[in-house]
Amino acid sequence: MNKALVFDLSGDYAHFRRYYTTMSPLTFSVPPGTALRGMLGAILGIDKTLAPEYFHDVELSLRVLNPIKKVNIPINYIQVKSASDFSRYPAHKPTNIEFVKDPAYRVYLRTSNEATYTALHEKLSRHESVYSLSFGISETLANFAFVGEMEITKIAANGVDSLVPLEYVKALPQTGDFQCFTEKLPMKMLNDREVIEYREFLFERTGARMLLEIPEAVQLSNGERVVFF
């Protein structure tokens, strides 16, 4: 299919917990593929026990819209075993949690599954979702705005607006004031929550176009250049 659905995600805070942290949870800078597919499931109302594998055939791309900013917020966890514990909880544990502040991203998706594509198009264009969207955890709600349905054309790009799988990058940008970072993200998991795919990505912290030569990019009808993964 030579078309893609494009929509923006935004919120006040986001927490996409890094899988290797314990006592003081840290967050990824951008939503992993597992989180994005979970949000698609929330939009369509797919049962959470089926959503992880339901969207395996959906190709995604992601662009940073707001500069990545992180803050630490102390959260006082309480031990609750029954309703009475809310008034006199037996124990509490102050914990510093890292959040992304004012997160905003642009999501691009395409799929050969026409039923899934049509259902997502209808929900996104009407600003409807079956369940509320969240940026990682239930306390960090997210909003979305439909940008449009766009034609896509395969190109050999010398500039990319989206995250780029690190294996596609032959050399980092040598000119321009770029703030490039890499993160290894969980991308796909099975319905039993077992992650089966991790990929490392390069992204620009402020969302600026990276001057990279990428042979497998696409250009959208609005001029943006992205890489699907």
Q: What is the pLDDT of residue 175?
A: 62
Q: Are 199 and 185 in contact (CB under 8 A)?
A: yes
Q: Which helix (H) or strand (E) holds 226?
A: strand 225-226
SS3 for 122? helix
pTM above 0.75, yes or no: yes
Residue type, 15: H
Q: pLDDT digits over 62-107, tens only?
A: 999 999 999 999 888 777 776 666 666 666 777 889 999 999 999 9
Whether 148 and 178 have beta carbons less than 8 Å apart is answered as: no
Which CATH fold would you assign to the domain 3-80+95-226? Alpha-Beta Plaits (3.30.70)
What the block records as the tokens of 124 is 């996104």
Helix (H, G, I), strand (E, B) or coil at 83: helix
Six-digit token string for 125: 């264009």
User: How many Cα atoms within 13 Å fall on the side-chain side of residue 47?
Assistant: 4
Comparing 39-43, 61-65, 89-93, 151-155, the range with the smallest average pLDDT is: 89-93
